[in-house]
Amino acid sequence: MCGILGSINLPINGSILDLIKHRGPDDSGLEVFQFADNHVYFGHRRLSILDLSAAGHQPMISNDGRYALIFNGEIYNHEDLRQKIKSPINYKGHSDTETILYYLIEFGFDAIADLNGIFALAFYAINNGQLYLARDHFGVKPLYYALDAANNTLLFSSEIRPIKQSNKENDLNMPALGSLLRLRYNAAPYTLYEDIEKVRPGHYLKFNLSEKLSECKQVAFLKPIPLKKKFTDKDQAIEKYGEFFERAVQRQLQSDVPIGVLLSGGIDSAMVASVAQKYSNYKLKAFTVGFEGVFDEDEIEQAAQTAEFLGLEHHYKKIDFSDFLSVMKKCSKIVEEPLATTSMIPMYFLSDLASKHVKVVMTGQGADEPLGGYTKYKAEIIQQKIPNIAQNFIGGFLKNIPTKNEKLQRGLQSLGIKDELDRFISTYEIFSNQEIYELIACEDRLSRDLLAYFYKILQCEKIEHPVERMMAIDARMNLADDLLNYTDKITMNFALECRVPILDHELIQFIESLPMEYRLNLKEGKLIHKAYAKSLLPTEIITRKKKAFKSPTNYWFKNESTILKSILLDNGSVFSRIFNLNKVNQLISLQEKGHNKEKQIFLLLGIYYFLENFEIKKS
C-alpha cells in the first residue's frame, strides 16, 4: 500500500513526491524515461507490507528494461496469477508488484481485469511509449489526473495535492459542485477542480506518446452483472457463500507485518474478525471509536463484547464535540474532497489509534450495497409493489405532511417517479435541485448522466429487479468516491493500510449472481450474510440493531449552532462569494428546530474548508 505520482512532460522532484510521503514512509523511488521528445516521470512512496526487502522497491522495471510499473494497493490472488505466467522469469522477490509487472507483460494490459485486489497503478511500455493508468474494480484506491492537451502534459497521482501544487490555477468546477450537493460526493471522473479528474472504478486510461495526449482512450474492464444462479437448496447457497467469504478474508491476511481489525458493534466487522482470527497464528488487535456521553452512535460496549467472544485484544477511544471541531478542518484537507459523510471524523481518531499498533487493518465496509443493507433498498421494493396511480395519490398526500425524519422525507419524495434513474437520484439526494439553485444559483446537470453511465456499462437493463440495479450502481459509485475515498485518505494519512475483504472480486461476483430473495426482502437485508454468520457468531451479535458508523452530529449541530453560524455565515469567506448565506442560515435554523440536517450542514462545512485556500475565481 503506497502512493504513486507520475507525469508526461512535467518534471517531478523529490519535494513534490514527498507531498504523499505519509502514504509510504518506508521507501521512495523516482525514474525518468524518454520517448521521442517526451519525458515520462514515475515516482513512488512505499509502505512496506509484502516483501519488505529491496526486491519490492518501486518504480519496478522489468529485467529486459522494456516495461515499468508503479503500483499502490494489494493483489490478493497474485500467487495464482504468478503460476499462470509461462515465460521464464528470474524473480527477485515475492511481492505482488513483481507479479503484476510480468503478468501484464505476458497477457497484455486487458488482463488487468484478472487482478483481485485493491489498486491504482501506472504501467509504461518504454519502447513504444504507451502509458496505462488503472483503478481497481470498486475504486478502493483513488487515482487523479490532470491532462493539458494544449501543452501536451499529463500529471497523475494517488492524491490531489501534488497535482494542485504543480498546477495552482485550477478553477472551481461549478457543475461538479451542483452534483456534489445532490449526491453528497463527487463521482468520478469529476472533482471540484475544473482541470483535475478521477479515473473511474474498473477503468483504465491509455496514452500513446506517438500521438497527442488529448486522444487518450478510456476502457472499462468491469464485467456486466452475472446471470442468476438457481439454487434448489438454500443451505447449499449459504454454504457456498461461506466458502467465498472465508476465502476472501483468508487471502487478504497475506502480509509480512501484523494485521488488526477496525471493529464496530455490528455484524460485518465481527464476521471479518472471526474468520481473520481463525486463520491467524497470533491474537488479533481490534480498534473501536466511541463518544463521550450517551449516544446511540457509540458502539464501544457492543464491540467489546464481540472482541471478548472472539478473543481479540481490544483498544478503543472516546471523542466529544471539541475533538470533532479540532479535526474537522484537518480532515477536510486530508480527504481533499468534501463529503456529507460524518463518519470521516471518528475514522480519523480510529486510524490514529490503530496506527500506533499495526500497519494493516481489515474493515467490514462494503456489505450494505451488494447485500441490501440500507433502508432505501427496502423502499425501492415497496415502490414496485404499489401501483403507479396509488403511488401518485399516496405520495401527493404524504408529501404535504411535515416530517423531521430525513430518511422518510427522501423516501416519500421518490414516490411516483417513473423514470428509474430520476427515482434513484431522488432517493440519494440531500439537496433537491431547487435547493441547490437557491444555494449556488445553478442546478445539478451531471448526476443523472453519471448514473446512466454505470447503468449502461453494467448492462442493468438485463437485471431483473430495479433494487438490484440500484445496488449494482451503488457498489461502483457511492462506495468508491464516498466511504472508500475518505477511508483510504484518512488511513493512509497515518501510513495505515486498510483492506476491505467483503469487496473481494470473487465474493461480489457470487453475491450478485444470487436471486434477489437471497439478499433482501421487505423486512431486512443481508439475508444470506446473516444466515452464514450463525456459524461464526452468537445470536445476540447477529440480531443487534444496526448502527450506522457516524458521529452524533445531529445532537451536536442542534446544540452548538452558534459555532456553526460563526463559521458558515462569515461574510468575508470565499464560501460567502459562492453560497447564499441566507439559505445556509435557514438550514441551520431548521437543525435548531429539530429537523435532521446534519448531512447537509456537514457537507457545507467541508465545502467551506475546501474553499478556504481556493485562490481562484468562481467560474
Name 61's bridge partners: 68
Instruction: Report how far apart, in Å, the C-alpha atoms of 596 and of each of 140, 529, 556 are.
Output: 30, 31, 11
Strand ranges across the sheet with 285-291: 313-319, 285-291, 259-262, 360-362, 497-499
CA distance 276 to 81: 23
Give the β-pairing of 259-262 and 285-291.
parallel
372: left (phi over 0), alpha (psi -120 to 50) or beta: left
Angle between helix 447-457 and 174-183 (nearest 10): 70
Q: Is 415 left (phi over 0), alpha (psi -120 to 50) or beta?
A: beta
CA atoms within 13 A on the CB side of 155: 21
What would the grid cell of residue 449 be? 448522466
First-last CA distance in the chain: 36
Rounded to 5 degrees, φ, ψ at 583 are -70, -35
- Rounded distance, CA 590 to CA 572, Å? 24
Residue 416, judged by CB atoms within 10 A of its CB (0-12, 13-18, 19+), counts as: buried
Cis status, amide bond into 226, omega within 30 of 0: no
- Pairing state between β 285-291 and 313-319: parallel
> Strand 153-157 and strand 285-291: pairing?
unpaired
Q: Please, which residues bridge with residue 214 across strands?
A: none
- State how far the Cα of 487 lies from the Cα of 479, in Å rounded to an integer: 10
Query: For this structure, is 460 an active site residue?
Result: no
- Grid coordinates representing 66? 522494456
**Sign of the C-alpha dihedral computed for residues 76, 79, 82 and 88 taken in this order:** positive
Rg of the chain in Å (alpha carbons):
24
Residue with cell 497475506: 254
Closest CA to 176 of 450, 425, 478: 450
CA distance linking residue 40 with residue 67, whole number of Å: 12
Residue of 2, 331, 460, 498 with catalytic role: 2
Q: Give residue 321's identity as a one-letter amino acid code.
A: F
Q: Strand, coil or helix: what is 124? A: strand
Residues in the chain: 619
Active-site residue list: 2
